Structure formats: structure tokens, C-alpha cells
Amino acid sequence: MKLTGLIAAPLTPFDAQANLAPERIPAYAAYLRDHGVAGVFVNGSTGESLSLSVPERKAAAEAWQAAKGTLKHVVHVGANSVVEARELAAHAQAIGADAIGAMPPCFFKASLAGVIDYCEAVAAAAPALPFYYYHIPGMTRVELSVRELLEQGERRIPTLAGAKFTFENLMDFQQAIDYKNGRFDLLFGRDEMLLNGLAAGAVGAVGSTYNFMAGVYLKIIAAFQANDLATARLWQARSQQLVNVLQESGSGIACCKAIMGLAGIDCGPCRIPLPRFGTAKMAWLKCRIDQIGLFRW
């Protein structure tokens, strides 16, 4: 399986008390489909996965599976406990997900060999599903060569499909794509650098801002495919304007939730330790997105 197009990293909907609100997912899924998104990467970093309990992660995955329609459904199952990760992987297979992904444990830092041991154990719990390694050193602090992981991992993990690559090392990304003439599926994970990822060979991408501005990225892809790099750069620059707002906000995930609310999809607040957007912060956000013209794009 190779995933193409835009794969949104959905936020986890909560009620006002930050309790899981899976009843909001059907409308959310319909919104993504209507805006040209091809799939969802559920319970990842944007979904506050490590702030959720195992039962909550299962309930969210079930709600997305029930509501996905034409969306591809990839479930992130990574956890610091390999026992929990295997339980989540088996559950994803049982509910009919299309694939699973897992970031490595991020408390005890593992070597490349240790990460492969972990991935082998997790993938084995869902032997019918493609397995993606989730490479996000900015969060896990686990920095390794994805190309080397694929080279060594394919000998032990029959379902190894590729990686979700959320890092700036484009040399490693391109070498991973080129390994064995494109044997593996590399999903690019930096929204603000999508054009760079396309130039390196990406055909699928996972991102947080695809939740509410998929149209911008679809224009980047279309312009790139038409060899119109000037237009592609223009739309990438607009994406970067929005990413600047996320960075200025102090919490990109909380800011994404607030923007989704303005777009008509109430995802509630974040769970602590992430902050909430109060009245003053919402006024600031509305001013900033009006300045850059987000909803006019």
C-alpha cells in the first residue's frame, strides 16, 4: 500500500471539561472529505495521543473507523509501554483500520537496534496491517537514519510499509525514498516544507494544518505537478504565514483547535499540560488570521 495525497493529522475532540467527545467525529470526518483530504492519521502528536488513556485511544480510533467513509484510516499506536502499543495495534487491526504507525518510546531513549526491536514487537501484534515508523525527533528526541531503519527493519518486519517523516533532514528523506527503487512509502510530515518534500519525491503527506487549509496544499501539489514552481512557492509561502501564527501562539495544537472551531468544527480545548485559548487569546488569533487572510484563501 502507498498513501497518496493529503493525510490529515486530526485533533482529538474534547468537551469543555477535556473529556473525549467521539460524537463530534462524524461531522469532522465529513468536513475533511469535503475539503479534499485523502486520509487521517489518528491519535498522533496533533491528536494528543500520549495524553490519552488506552481506552480513550481505542474509542477515538473506533469513532474514526465508523465515520471514515472514503478516508484512509491510519492509527498511531506508539506508546512508552510496548505492551500498550501491542494492545493498540491489535485493536486497530480488529476494527478494520487500513494501517498502523508508531513513534518510538520517548522516556528510555533507544538505539537503532532497540527501535527495531520495538517496531518488530508492535507490528507483530497486527500482522495483517501495513506498519509505518513515525519519525518525529523534535518530540521523541530519538534521532536516527530512517534509511538505515528501513534497510535493517525489512529483514525482521514483514509488514514494514515505510515511515511518517516529520523532520528536516531531507537528505535522509530522499535516500529513504530512493532505497530499493522506491520500495517503501515515505509520508512527508512538515506542512511548511511540503514543496521541498515533493521535490524529494514525496507523493503523500501527513500534517496538522491539512485539517483546515487543505485547499492551499492541494494547490501546491497541483502547481508542482504542472511544473509551475512560482505558483507552488506562492501557496507554500501562505502556508508558512499560518505556521508562523501557530508558532507565535505558544501552542500549535491549541491554536489548531481554536482555528477548527472558527471553521465550524468544535474540537474543544486541549488537555493539560497544553494551554487553553481564553477570550484574549481568541481575539489575538482572530486578528492574526484576518491579517494573513486565512479564510479568504
Q: Which residue has the cell 493525510?
A: 7
Clarify whether 133 is annotated catalytic.
no
CA dihedral of 81, 86, 87, 93, whole degrees rounded to 10: 150
User: Nearest-CA neighbor of 8 among 265, 224, 262?
Assistant: 265
Clarify whether 134 is annotated catalytic.
yes
- Pick the catalytic residue from 164, 210, 219, 257: 164
Number of continuous H segments (helices) and E segments (strands) in the chain: 12, 8
- Pick the catalytic residue from 31, 132, 133, 134: 134
Tell whether the torsion through CA atoms of 210, 215, 219 and 221 is positive or negative.
Answer: positive
112-124 and 146-153 helices cross at what angle (nearest 10)?
50
Phi-psi region of 68 (alpha: psi -120 to 50; beta: other; left: phi over 0): alpha
Residues, the chain: 297
Q: Which residue has the cell 506508539?
A: 78
Question: Among all residues, which ones are annotated catalytic?
Answer: 134, 164
